Structure 1
Amino acid sequence: MAVRQLFPTLFYEGTLDDEGFVGELEHSVLSLAEDDVAGKRWSKAHGYRGYTSYASLNDLPQRDPVFADLKRRLDRHVAAFAREAGFELDAKLKLDSLWVNVLKPGGAHSGHIHPHSVVSGTVYVAIPPGAGALKLEDPRLPMMMAAPRRDGTFVYAEPQPGSVFLWESWLRHEVVPNGAKGERISVSFNYR
């Protein structure tokens, strides 16, 4: 008898390995959170507990050299992930969108996917104790119908400052409530 594992779901865990750069990134994110009136307005109107530039700024790598440097670093991580995933690409994957998130205590982001993208991910900038993990859902869950409960339906990835997490954009995930006393700061992105 043989039991094979078919169609694995890959999840990439890397790091920026540069505390100084992570500090620069934090400064840039907090400056945006202070100055981006449209982003603050959108966050408030949509019940986002904190600030996100998701719907307000789509040019961060052109706006701030720190984000241009982050893009170059992410390009290398995404290329490594694409190789490991065995993607047969006609051209390199390109950054499509990049946005910052400052999540206050109690803030969360419910389960979702990233349509129209190939690879999505998050770089973690500030993770105070108790800030919580990224929650990933078994992609078979909607098809399990009468299947019994099993371990591993949800996997929690615990970030540290400088962590780079990547996954295929169809993988459903959520940001668990920030249980810390401080803000959880991250930068999320999509590649096509």
Structure 2
Amino acid sequence: MIGVSKMYSEIIALSGIEDFKIVNPYNSECNCEYILISKGYFDKVRKLNPNSKIIEINSATFLDLIESLEKLKTENIGNIDIINQSIENLKKLDFKIKKDNFEFVKNFEFNIDSDSKFIKRILDDLGFEHKNASTIKIIPDYNLKEDLDLNDIIILKTHRYDLKLVERIENRYMSILNSLNNIILGKT
């Protein structure tokens, strides 16, 4: 039996897993052979589930999710044909977003920065390069401080639980691109 945290329930369809249950491994014992969890929670989940094989799913970027699906293949979890088709679909979506926004990213005149490794991964994946120019900062919604000056700051909503996994990744990419475009339009 494979336990899948609610946030990653779409992994079931992306990988063709048949013998599964939705679990909350972050707060309780799950009694599963494998548990698929969010990256960064291994130690916490291990304490509650010492006999389960824990696989961290990374999904900041499309490439992260592709690598996570590849990891499932190496563990013989899921259906290889379904996983391969999912990987192909993710690559197409990733390519489309990057192709559609290539000129915008290439010609973007401002520097973009974030203290969040998560957001930096997305910015790097989109192809934004460091520029010697005014800086626009992007912060995750979980890192807000009361005394924060919100001028030239984009707040990225990171965990849209109303969206499926692939939609959440796409939404983060498009939120960054659209917010940067709106800031630029406001500056001209």
Between structures 1 and 2, the one with greater strand share = 1
- More helix, by proportion: 2
Shared fold, TM over 0.5? no
Q: Which has the higher contact order (CA 8 A, sep 6+)?
A: 1
- Larger radius of gyration between Structure 1 and Structure 2: 2
